[in-house]
């Protein structure tokens, strides 16, 4: 029998709770410890998910010998520092998206993990969902011909004007927080963008509340993406080739269904729903890489994490959008 992968969770917010619930569905993983800035939050999280150990500091978790790997679920401006803490303690890291605020930070952290030969992966969970895996298989099988175009949108109205999503100090802004999904999907399908342009509207908190971007990839492939914290967008992603298209209906980044449309043929549809919140697939892949002694994940290469952030940097530079400390 495989030994259970012992997860440590760093940060006790909304997505950390979804991750804990998702990991609980995995037979070969266990929630071993949680770390919080406050003892009260760590205890509350521990009670909710019956985690045997809680630490009232992130350093306590990073140095816990009974933890095999750490999932980081803090706001993105903290990611680089929190990853450094864990990697320097020799702990494999699965870090929430966006991996860091900019490519400079990502470069430093990736170099650290590579120098120390410690497993590091961006928690871009959408890539690991069964519907996205099926999409890649159908494309590889040539069902739509060579894919040439991606159109994707992601957005919903944000009413809490003081919350994380609109707060520059917490890495808010539509491009950084949700735009990373279509930019990363485009990179998965076509390789990194070789050019990026677009428009954004910066709101009164100092971050972009809406963006519309176009990316160019090698071989003339193109991506069109829109994001918004103002509109209830359709939340769909469509990748097209000469024979037809593959569409993931709303909300595509939580993909549960896949549709194949080929001209002149009846539509094919796959129901690929999953239990819990869907973060179990990235967690299982991470543990599998760890068991195999790998330090990078083939499904989410660190070079791609870096190039995605370079694209976001390039777009933000066009808009004059900077985060505190940049």
Ligand X SMILES: NC(=O)c1ccc[n+]([C@@H]2O[C@H](COP(=O)([O-])OP(=O)(O)OC[C@H]3O[C@@H](n4cnc5c(N)ncnc54)[C@H](OP(=O)(O)O)[C@@H]3O)[C@@H](O)[C@H]2O)c1
The binding site for ligand X (CB under 6 A) comprises 11-16, 36-38, 41, 73-76, 78, 96-97, 125, 164, 170, 177
Please list, in sequence order, all residues whose beta carbon lies within 8 angstroms of the beta carbon of residue 317, skipping any fewer than 6 positions away: none
- As to burial, measured by CB atoms within 10 angstroms (0-12 exposed, 13-18 middle, 19+ buried), residue 240 is middle
Residue 226 β-bridge partners: 153, 212
Cβ-based nearer residue to ligand X, 15 or 212: 15
Query: Left (φ > 0), alpha (ψ -120 to 50) or beta: where does 206 sit?
Result: left
Q: Is the bond into 290 cis (omega within 30 degrees of 0)?
A: no
Q: How far is the CB of 211 from ligand X (least distance, A)?
A: 16
Looking only at the bridges linking them, the beta strands covering 237-241 and 221-228 are unpaired
φ, ψ for residue 99, nearest 5 deg = -50, -45
Angle separating helix axes 14-23 and 39-49, nearest 10 degrees: 30
* DSSP sequence for 164-203: GGG-GGGT-SHIIIIIHHHHHHHHHHH-SEEEEEEEEEE-
Q: How far is the CB of 15 from ligand X (least distance, A)?
A: 4
Q: How far is the CB of 175 from ligand X (least distance, A)?
A: 12
Cβ-based nearer residue to ligand X, 73 or 129: 73
Question: Which residue has 């949108």 as its token pair?
Answer: 153
| Residue 135, token pair as written in the block | 């999409």
Q: How far is the CB of 266 from ligand X (least distance, A)?
A: 33
Q: How far is the CB of 118 from ligand X (least distance, A)?
A: 20
Q: How far is the CB of 258 from ligand X (least distance, A)?
A: 19
Cβ-based nearer residue to ligand X, 220 or 275: 275
Q: How far is the CB of 3 from ligand X (least distance, A)?
A: 27
Of 216, 221, 199, 218, nearest to 208 by C-alpha is: 199
φ, ψ for residue 320, nearest 5 deg = 70, 30
Q: How far is the CB of 179 from ligand X (least distance, A)?
A: 11
Q: How far is the CB of 286 from ligand X (least distance, A)?
A: 13
Cβ-based nearer residue to ligand X, 59 or 317: 59
Please list, in sequence order, all residues whose beta carbon lies within 8 angstroms of the beta carbon of residue 47, skipping any fewer than 6 positions away: none
Cβ-based nearer residue to ligand X, 100 or 238: 100
Give residue number: closest CB to ligand X.
Answer: 13
Cβ-based nearer residue to ligand X, 184 or 310: 184
Cβ-based nearer residue to ligand X, 22 or 310: 22
Given a contact cutoff of 8 angstroms between Cβ atoms, the answer to whether 187 and 202 are in contact is no
- Other Cβ atoms closer than 10 A to 103: 20
Given a contact cutoff of 8 angstroms between Cβ atoms, the answer to whether 284 and 29 are in contact is yes
Cβ-based nearer residue to ligand X, 12 or 226: 12
Cβ-based nearer residue to ligand X, 144 or 321: 321
């Amino acid at each position: 029998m495989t030994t259970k992968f012992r997860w440590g969770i760093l940060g006790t917010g909304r997505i950390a709770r979804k991750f804990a619930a998702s990991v609980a569905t995995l037979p070969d993983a266990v929630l071993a410890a949680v770390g919080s800035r406050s003892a009260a939050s760590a205890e509350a999280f521990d009670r909710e998910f019956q985690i045997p150990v809680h630490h009232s500091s992130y350093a306590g978790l990073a140095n816990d010998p009974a933890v095999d790997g750490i999932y980081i679920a803090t706001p993105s401006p903290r990611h680089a520092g929190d990853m450094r803490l864990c990697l320097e303690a020799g702990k494999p890291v699965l870090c929430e998206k966006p991996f860091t605020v900019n490519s400079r930070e990502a470069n430093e952290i990736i170099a650290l993990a590579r120098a120390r030969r410690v497993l590091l992966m961006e928690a871009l969970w959408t890539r690991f969902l069964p519907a996205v895996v099926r999409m890649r298989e159908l494309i590889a099988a040539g069902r739509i011909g060579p894919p040439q175009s991606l159109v994707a949108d992601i957005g919903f109205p944000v009413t809490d004007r003081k919350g994380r999503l609109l707060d520059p100090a917490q890495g808010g802004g539509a491009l950084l927080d949700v735009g990373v999904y279509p930019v990363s999907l485009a990179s998965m399908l076509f390789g990194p963008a070789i050019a990026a342009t677009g428009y954004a509207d910066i709101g009164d908190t100092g971050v972009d509340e809406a963006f519309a971007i176009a990316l160019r990839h090698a071989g003339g492939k193109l991506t069109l993406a829109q994001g918004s914290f103002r509109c209830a967008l359709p939340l769909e992603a469509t990748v097209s080739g000469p024979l037809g298209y593959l569409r993931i209906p709303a909300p595509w980044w939580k993909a549960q269904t896949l549709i194949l449309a080929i001209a002149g043929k009846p539509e094919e549809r796959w129901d690929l729903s999953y239990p819990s919140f869907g973060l179990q697939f990235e967690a299982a892949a991470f543990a599998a890489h760890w068991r195999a002694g790998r330090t990078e994940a083939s499904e989410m290469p660190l070079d791609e994490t870096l190039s995605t952030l370079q694209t976001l940097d390039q777009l933000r530079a066009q808009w004059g959008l900077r985060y505190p400390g940049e």
